[in-house]
Amino acid sequence: MPKKIAASNQVEQTAAERNVSEKNQRIGSAASRRNFFKDSGLLLAGGALVGGQLAVARSAHAFAAESIRLGLVGCGGRGTGAIIQALATTGGDVRLTAMADVFQSNLQSAYRAIKGKYPQQVDVAAESRFVGLDAYQKLFESDVDVVFLATPPGFRPLHFERAIAAGKHVFMEKPVAVDAPGVRRVLATGQIATAKGLAVQVGLHRRHETRYRQCVARLHDGIIGEPIFARAYWNGSGVWTRPRRPSQTELEYQINNWYYFNWLSGDHITEQHIHNLDIINWVMNGFPVEAQGQGGRQVRSGASAGEIYDHHMIEYTYSGGTRMLSQCRQIAGCWSKVGEHVQATGGSCDISSAKIFDRRGRLIWESAAKEVAGNGWQQEQIDFFAAIRAGQTPNETEYAAHSTLTAIMGRMASYSGKVITWNQALSSNLSLADVETLHTLDSPAPVRPLASGAYEIATPGKTIAT
C-alpha cells in the first residue's frame, strides 16, 4: 500500500479525505504477505451486517416498526427494481412517497410498475412527482426518510452530497462516481454521513450474498494460503441504444443514451465491471497500487456508440505484488464470462461459484447456502432496512469509492496506454463534467459531437487520462 493515498502537492485534501487516506495506510501496512488471507477478515459482528461495511454506528433514531418513507431519484430500470425490493422487506411499513427524474416518461413508467406490484405501499401525490434536472433537490426538501439514488452515475457525487446535507439516509447505486474529483467528493460526503449518524448503502450487491460472504470469509481464514494471482471478468453482449429524435437537444440525447458517454457512465469498465473488481478488492482487503492495460472499439462505431470502448483488459498490481487480470467486453457472439477467481499458494477459488480447490484441483469446500429470491439485490435491501430499523447506520461509502476508483484507474490506463498509479488516479483533477451547471435540457452538453456527428474517442499514446 502506498504511504500516502494522494500526494499533498498534487491535490488539496479535506480533513475527511485525510482521515480516509490515513485509515488506508494503516490497513495496507498491517497486512503481511504471509498472513494475508488469515489477517484480512472483513466480517463484522452482527449477522446480517455483512463483510465490507466499513462503519456501523448507532443512529439517533431507530425506526423499529414505524413507517419508513422512501424517495426515488432516477426512475429507470435499476431504480424501479431497487424500490420494489425495498417495498418487499419485512419488519414494518415501507412506502414510496416521492419520485424524481429528468424525464416525465421515465417517472410515469416507474410509477406504474411499482404501483402495480405494491399498490398499498405507493403513495406518491402529484405534487411529489418532480421532473427536470433540479428534481432531485425538490425531492430532498420533502419529508422522505430514505432516498434511493439511481440516476446515471455522473450525477451521483452531487446527489449524494445534497442528500446527506438534507439529513437523509441513502441507498445509492454503483458506481459512485465517474472521475477522481467525484470519488474524492463521495469519500468526503461519506465521512459527513458518519458524523451525522446517517446510513449509506451502495448497490454492490455481491457483498450481501451469503455464498460470497462465506467464500470470502474462508479465504480470509487462510484455507488456501497466500494470494498469488486473481482474475475478474465481465464479458458479455452490449446494451441498448436509443435513436436520436429530431426534437432532442444534445444534452437530452446524451442523458437518454447515458451509457455511451463517459461523463455519465464512466465507460462499462466503471459502470458494470466494478462488481467484479470490487470482489477482488474485498478478497485482497485493499485496492491496487497501479494498473496498466489496453482496450478499444473493435465493433462499436459511429455516433450511436458515443465515446466508450467495447473492451478493456487491465493488469492491476496490489501492494504485496499480487496481480489481477481484469477483462471486460461488450461484444455479441463472443465467449461470455462473468465471475472472479483467485489462485493461492495452497489452491484456488472460484469465488462466483463459491467453490475452493486444493493444489491438485480437488474440491475442498463449497457453500451450501441458499440465497433469498432476488439474490443480492433483495438481500441488500433486507440488510439495509433491518439495520436502520435497529438504529444502526451502516456506511459502505469507503469501499465503494475505492472500487469505483479501481475501475476508473483501469479506464485511465486503457485510454492512455500508460501505467497509472493509485496516487495518480486519486489525485487527478480531470473532471469529466460539471453537472451543477446543467440547469435545463437546453444547457450545453459537456461533450460535443464532431462535424461528422460522431464523438471523439480516446487514443492510447495520445489521450491524457489523468
Residue type, 349: C
Q: Which of 61-75, 110-124, 442-456 has the lowest mean pLDDT?
A: 61-75
Task: Please answer whether residues 354 and 219 qualify as being in contact, where contact means their C-beta atoms are separated by less than 8 angstroms.
Answer: no
What are the DSSP calls for 38-60, one per residue?
HHT--PPSSTTS-TT--EEEE-S
Q: Which residues contact 31 (CB under 8 A, 6 or more apart)?
A: 39, 40, 285, 286, 319, 320
Domain with CATH 3.40.50.720 in the chain: 42-207+376-402
| Cell of residue 270, nine digits | 466503471
CATH architecture classification, 208-371+404-422 = 2-Layer Sandwich (3.30)
Q: What is the mean pLDDT of residues 158-185?
A: 99
State mean pLDDT over 57-75: 79
Q: Mapping DSSP to helix (H, G, I), strand (E, B) and coil, where does residue 218 land?
A: helix
Strand partners, 332: none
For residues 129-144, average pLDDT: 98
Q: Where do the H-state alpha helices sit in 325-428?
A: 375-389, 397-416, 422-427
In 3D, which of 105, 115, 106 has the Cα closest to residue 79?
106
- Mean of the pLDDT values across residues 275-289? 99
Helix 104-117 / helix 77-87 crossing angle, nearest 10 deg: 30
Answer whether 180's CB lies under 8 Å from 405's CB.
yes
| Residue with cell string 419488519 | 91
- Return the DSSP state at 266: -
pLDDT band at 374 (very low <50, low <70, confident <90, very high): confident
Rounded mean pLDDT of 30-35? 40
Q: Is the pLDDT of residue 61 over 60?
A: yes
Nearest to 184 by CA among 10, 52, 412: 10
Residue 19 pLDDT > 90, yes or no? Answer: no
**15 pLDDT more than 70:** no
Task: Report pTM.
Answer: 0.88
| pLDDT above 70: percentage of residues in the chain | 87
Query: Tell me, what DSSP letter sits at residue 65?
Result: T
Per residue in 186-237, pLDDT tens?
999 999 999 999 999 999 999 999 999 999 999 999 999 999 999 999 999 9
Q: 42-207+376-402, what's its fold?
A: Rossmann fold (3.40.50)
pLDDT in the model for residue 65: 67
d(CA 432, CA 256): 18
Q: DSSP states of 138-202 as a string?
A: HHHTSS-SEEEE-S-GGGHHHHHHHHHHTT-EEEEPSPS-SSHHHHHHHHHHHHHHHHHT--EEE
- Convert 340-357 to b/e letters by CB count within 10 Å (16 or more is b): bbbbbebbbbbbbebbbb
Averaged over 344-357, what is the pLDDT? 98
Q: Give helix 397-416 / helix 274-284 axis angle, nearest 10°.
A: 120
SS3 assignment, position 110: helix
Delimiting residues of CATH 3.30.360.10 domain(s) in the chain: 208-371+404-422
Residue 18 is predicted with a pLDDT of 41
Which range (50-64, 233-247, 350-364, 401-415) has the least confidence? Answer: 50-64
**Residue 60 pLDDT more than 90?**
no
Alpha-carbon distance of 208 to 378, in angstroms, equals: 9
Q: How many CB atoms lie within 10 A of CB 270?
A: 29
Q: Is residue 57 over pLDDT 70?
A: no
What percent of the chain is predicted at pLDDT more than 90? 84
* Higher pLDDT pick, 425 / 27: 425
pLDDT of 20: 37
What does pLDDT average to over the chain? 90
pLDDT in tens, 382-419: 999 999 999 999 999 999 999 999 999 999 999 999 99
